[in-house]
Amino acid sequence: MDNRAGLDRETVDDALDVLRDIVLWKLTPQRWEQVTLILGRLADALAAGDPEELRDAVADLELSGPTRALRIGGTETGGIPEPVLERRNTLVHSLSRDQPKDDDGRPSR
């Protein structure tokens, strides 16, 4: 079920911003697992039309971004894994679908 009625534009815009950023992130496999869980929360909040949980998930996702340094002996970082990218793409499509469009067809801000 798709229920965006209670979602405010600012929260949706914030979600889209961070979802666009994650394709550039370089994270350890463990951090990508954390991102995957947060994307699941974001999808559930979107499906339920739960603005509070959506805001919480977006904030957690923003905080899951790359850090400047790895721990000593830390695992190498890598780009976005394919399953995470697919989930991210689905969320971007869902969030963008009902956004007002500019003259060039892109979501307006």
Task: Answer yes or no: is pLDDT of 72 > 90.
Answer: no
Q: Say what percent of the chain tops pLDDT 90.
A: 66
Q: Which of 9-13, 27-31, 96-100, 104-108 has the lowest mean pLDDT?
A: 104-108
Mean pLDDT of 2-19: 82
More confident call, 68 vs 78: 78
Residue 60 has pLDDT above 50, yes or no: yes
C-alpha 4: how far from chain center = 16
Q: Report yes or no on whether pTM surpasses 0.85.
A: no
Structure token pair of residue 2? 């798709």
Give the integer Cα–Cα distance in Å for 1 and 20: 24
